[in-house]
Amino acid sequence: MRDYRFDVARVVCMTYIIAFLHLYAYVYPQGRYAFYIPACGMLANACLGLFTFISGYLLGRKYQFGNDGNTAVWAFYKKRLLRIIPLFWLASIALWMIGYNDAEATANGLLCVSPFVTPTPRTLWYIPVIMWCYLLTPLISRSRVRWRVLSCLFIFGLLVVARLLFPSIDNRFIFNVFFYFVGVVSAACFDWKFSFRHGTVIKTLVVWGFIVIVAVLLHASLLNSAAAQMVLGAIGVFAILFVCDAISKLFFDSRPQHQNAFQSLGGWVIGIVSYASMACYMFHRLFYWAAEQVWNPADASVKWLFMAGLVFPVIIALSYAIQKLYDHCRL
């Protein structure tokens, strides 16, 4: 039986970032943007932190290096880095060509030094971060839990010291590496499934309880600094994971022969959007730019409807096609 919880999490996080957080700036380019930055910045940290955690957890379960592990390091690098680098280069050059990122920030991103030096490419800053996480994976993903814990603590300690000595290192890099390490370590000993014994009503109440807690944290972050947003974002990672796990249990965790038409269709859609999520993240700015060249209504409500109701579904479809075509050619 398919485990939908991480697919649901990817879809929820990707939709929030692309269809609300980034889209907001296109709908209100001259105002209203500053009001929501602290709260939405915290939730954006949580969403990307959860993306990184999921990557670490799934790779930590799948691969083991050294210490009785049998995964070949270079084969791992070839598979993981080639899956993302060509599309990342294509997206980076495209965003430079339309003037979204300047040449220096684009070069820093392409060389994967943007987590350590400025300027950092907008939006695509996350891709070099996850690639550095992939590079560190053979050092930490071992068969022995003790090795995973000690190696992660050692490397993360070095990163914290480096951040203190070199303030140019991006806080977001440290934040996401931490959650990648948590994913890799926990993959060896914990499945992150939340069990309930009291039926659907209790599950639903718990889900809504956590949504309320996250909303309170969002409100509180309006009064705090960027560092506090990171801390609250860390709490948000597991709050979102908890909610998405509960959603998957409520709607999708039935045996295939017992699923109704709605569950089957929903699971199919979730799988497609989850598969397209990384390509969506890399190319959505380019598609939003292209959509504005076609039609750029002045009325904010009309633009929301146009972008979220029409352009966003098209972005998902095109991103799925891009990822599918690239994976087919790569294989």
User: Which pLDDT score, from 0 to 100, does residue 198 have?
Assistant: 47
In a domain, 1, yes or no: no
Number of structural domains (the chain) is 1
Residues 6+ apart with CB under 8 A from 26: 288, 292, 303, 307
Q: How confident is the model at residue 309 (pLDDT cuts 50, 70, 90)?
A: very high
Residue entry with tokens 């930490």: 140
- What are the b/e assignments for 43-61, b being 16+ CB within 10 Å? bbbbbbbbbbbbbbbebbe
52 found inside a domain: yes
Q: Which two tokens stand for residue 126?
A: 């996350």
Q: What is the DSSP string of 56-77?
A: HHHHHHH---STT----HHHHH
Position 315 scores a pLDDT of: 97
Q: Is residue 190 assigned to a domain?
A: yes
258-286 pLDDT, tens digit per residue, is 666 667 777 889 999 999 999 999 999 99
Least-confidence region, from 24-28, 98-102, 327-331: 327-331
Per-residue pLDDT at 242 = 84
**For residue 42, is it within any domain?**
yes
Cα 184 to chain centroid distance, Å, stands at 16
- Report the pLDDT value the prediction gives residue 218, as an integer from 0 to 100: 45
Let me know if residue 101 belongs to a domain.
yes
Residue tagged 């919880």 (tokens): 5
- Does residue 88 fall inside a structural domain? yes
Q: Is the dihedral of CA 124, 126, 131, 134 positive or negative?
A: negative
State yes or no: pLDDT of 224 exceeds 70.
Answer: no
By C-alpha distance, which of 13, 69, 99, 33 is closest to 278?
13
Least confident of 26-30, 42-46, 177-181, 232-236: 232-236
Nearest to 311 by CA among 88, 6, 27, 9: 27
Residue 146 located in a structural domain? yes
Cα separation, 27 vs 302, in Å, equals 9
Q: Could you tell me the residue range of the domain that residue 231 belongs to?
A: 8-330
Q: State how far Cα 164 lies from the chain centre.
A: 26
| Mean per-residue pLDDT of the chain | 83
Per-residue pLDDT at 311 exceeds 50 = yes
* 257 secondary structure, DSSP code: G
Residue 3 domain-assigned (yes or no): no
